[in-house]
Chains A and B, each alone.
Chain A
């Protein structure tokens, strides 16, 4: 039982490049989330999903896209990376909405 797995752990992108952050969970949770954490700040919700095929925007969705084709996977796509997207990204899942989220170990992304 691996929980929530995120890949990669670290990535450096050049301005304008694109990439996909992968997230998978093996707990059969319906709810999945993407958060970003900037230095000295709390976690900001980017996108979330309440089940396969259903996604919705969080507080800071601009510059990102998501898809949820299966219960297990919730990839986050960055198009045309910008320095403002330099952050640590966390994927999370939960059985019940917004209760006891299980987090992955994070992806540290730098856009230079």
Chain B
């Protein structure tokens, strides 16, 4: 039962353009969402997060949007840079089990010159 889904395994975007990574979830008890970025042979690193009481959070080039009614969140990267090429994981916290995160399967972003 995949409660957090990233349906696009990969995405290719030109440098300078917008990258949009999507994530869907099924559990209405999720109250906090995070995006992690992972380079090869490294551990994931925290990128940005959003609480379920908000619909948008912005940090520099990165913006996360949350649509609770659709159980959908997205990460926008503007402008995309070659250094953004990595695997991006969406994760969610269940308000009833607040010590644990559920991760999606990841989307590999490639930013081309």
Task: List chain A positions with a Cβ less than 8 A from chain B.
Answer: 4, 31, 33, 35, 40-45, 48, 50, 56, 58, 90, 92, 97-106
B89 within 8 A of A: yes
Are A106 and B100 neighbours in the complex by a CB distance under 8 Å?
no
Are B100 and A98 neighbours in the complex by a CB distance under 8 Å?
yes
Q: Which of chain A's residues has its CB closest to B105's CB?
A: A42
A42 contact set on B, CB distance < 8 A:
4, 6, 89, 103-106
Are A48 and B43 neighbours in the complex by a CB distance under 8 Å?
no
Q: Which of chain A's residues has its CB closest to B106's CB?
A: A42
Are A103 and B34 neighbours in the complex by a CB distance under 8 Å?
no
User: Shortest CB–CB separation between residue A57 and chain B, in angstroms?
Assistant: 10
B32 contact set on A, CB distance < 8 A:
98-99
Taken together as a complex, chains A and B put the C-alpha atoms of A92 and B38 apart, in Å, by 14
Give the contacting residue for B99; candidates A35, A90, A97, A106; CB below 8 A.
Answer: A97
A45 contact set on B, CB distance < 8 A:
100-102
Known interface pairs A31-B99, A35-B103, A42-B105; 6 further A-B residue pairs with C-beta atoms within 8 A, sorted by A's residue number = A33-B100, A42-B103, A92-B43, A97-B99, A97-B100, A105-B42
A98 contact set on B, CB distance < 8 A:
32, 93, 98-101
Give the contacting residue for A101; candidates B9, B41, B101, B105; CB below 8 A.
Answer: B101
The contact sample of 18 A-B pairs, CB cut-off 8 A, is A33-B100, A42-B4, A43-B44, A44-B103, A56-B99, A58-B100, A90-B44, A97-B99, A98-B32, A98-B98, A99-B32, A99-B34, A99-B93, A100-B34, A100-B46, A101-B101, A105-B42, A106-B42
